[in-house]
C-alpha cells in the first residue's frame, strides 16, 4: 500500500499495480488441483501380454496397470474374465511385449477386442507369433522387445498376477552396441488422463550418476 501522506504519482501507481500483478502470478503458479483417487501415473507402460490356450492357439491383450515387481518379477492387474488370463492360468506362462509407435493401432486393437468374442483377433491385428523356447507362450514377431515369463501367482479377487522373468529377448534391429536402444525400439506409454498414447521422449540425464553432483 502507498503511504497516506505521500503525493501519488503515476509512476507510484504503476509500481503498485506491477507489485500486485507479480503477487497474483506467484499465487497462481503455486495453485494445485485435487482430482481424488485415480489410477494415474507417468509414464504408464503399454504391455502386450500373449499366451497360448490349451489347444495351442495364441492370444494377446493390452494392459497398462503393470510394472516391475522385483529384480526378476513383473506384476499386473488383470481381471479373471480375460481370455488371456484363462490361458495363463492353464499354461502357467506368458510373454510381455513392449507396444511401439509402429504398431499403435494393432496394439490398441488387442486391448479393445476380446478373444472370448473374436478368437482369431491376433491374426486380425496382423500379428504373427513364434513359440518361446524358454516358456510355453508365444512371442509376437512384430514387437521387437519381449519378456518371457512364468506365472508365480494370481489372485482372482484382486486381479493381481505376479510372474517370473525367465528371459528378455530383443530383435537385432533395435540394438546399438549390443544394448536395447529406446530410440530404435520407440516404445509408447499410456496417458490415463487423456486416453492417448505417447512416444517415449529424449534422454535428459544419466541414472545413478547425475545426482552425485549434489552429494
pLDDT in tens, 61-113: 999 999 999 999 999 999 999 999 999 999 999 999 999 999 999 999 999 99
In sequence order, the β-bridge partners of residue 190 are: 44, 197
Q: Give the pLDDT confidence score for residue 201 in this predicted structure.
A: 86
- Among 201, 203, 197, smallest CA distance to 47 is for 197
Q: Measured between alpha carbons, how far apart are the two ends of the chain, in Å?
A: 44
Residue 214's Cβ-side half-sphere holds a number of Cα atoms within 13 Å equal to 3
Q: Give the pLDDT confidence score for residue 29 in this predicted structure.
A: 63
- Among 119, 46, 56, smallest CA distance to 76 is for 46
Distance CA 214, CA 211 (A): 6
Domains of the chain: 45-195 (2.30.110.10)
- Among 153, 173, 169, smallest CA distance to 161 is for 153
> With contact defined as beta carbons under 8 Å apart, do 40 and 62 qualify?
no
Q: List for the chain the helix, strand, coil content (%; round to 5).
A: 25, 35, 40
Average pLDDT across the chain, whole number: 91
- Among 79, 122, 119, 120, smallest CA distance to 103 is for 122
> With contact defined as beta carbons under 8 Å apart, do 56 and 203 qualify?
no
* Model pLDDT for residues 150-168, shown as the tens digit of each residue: 999 999 999 999 999 999 9
> Greater confidence, 116 or 12?
116
Distance CA 160, CA 15 (A): 60
- Structural element, H or E, at residue 21: helix 10-29
Amino acid at each position: 500500500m502507498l503511504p497516506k501522506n505521500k503525493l501519488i504519482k503515476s509512476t507510484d501507481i504503476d509500481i503498485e499495480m506491477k507489485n500486485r500483478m507479480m503477487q497474483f502470478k506467484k499465487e497462481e503458479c503455486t495453485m494445485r488441483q485435487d482430482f481424488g483417487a485415480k489410477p494415474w501415473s507417468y509414464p504408464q507402460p503399454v504391455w502386450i501380454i500373449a499366451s497360448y490356450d490349451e489347444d495351442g492357439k495364441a492370444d494377446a491383450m493390452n494392459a497398462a496397470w503393470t510394472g516391475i515387481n522385483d529384480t526378476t518379477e513383473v506384476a499386473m492387474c488383470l481381471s479373471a474374465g480375460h481370455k488371456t488370463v484363462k490361458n495363463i492360468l492353464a499354461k502357467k506362462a506368458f510373454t510381455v511385449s513392449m507396444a511401439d509407435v509402429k504398431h499403435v493401432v494393432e496394439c490398441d486393437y488387442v486391448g479393445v477386442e476380446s478373444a472370448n468374442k473374436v478368437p482369431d483377433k491376433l491374426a486380425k491385428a496382423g500379428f504373427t507369433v513364434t513359440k518361446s523356447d524358454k516358456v510355453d507362450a508365444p512371442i509376437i514377431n512384430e514387437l521387437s522387445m519381449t519378456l518371457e515369463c512364468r506365472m508365480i501367482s494370481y489372485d482372482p479377487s484382486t486381479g493381481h498376477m505376479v510372474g517370473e522373468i525367465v528371459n528378455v529377448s530383443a530383435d537385432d534391429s533395435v540394438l546399438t552396441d549390443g544394448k536395447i536402444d529406446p530410440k530404435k525400439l520407440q516404445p509408447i506409454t499410456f496417458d490415463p488422463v487423456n486416453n492417448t498414447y505417447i512416444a517415449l521422449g529424449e534422454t535428459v540425464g544419466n541414472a545413478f550418476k547425475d545426482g552425485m553432483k549434489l552429494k
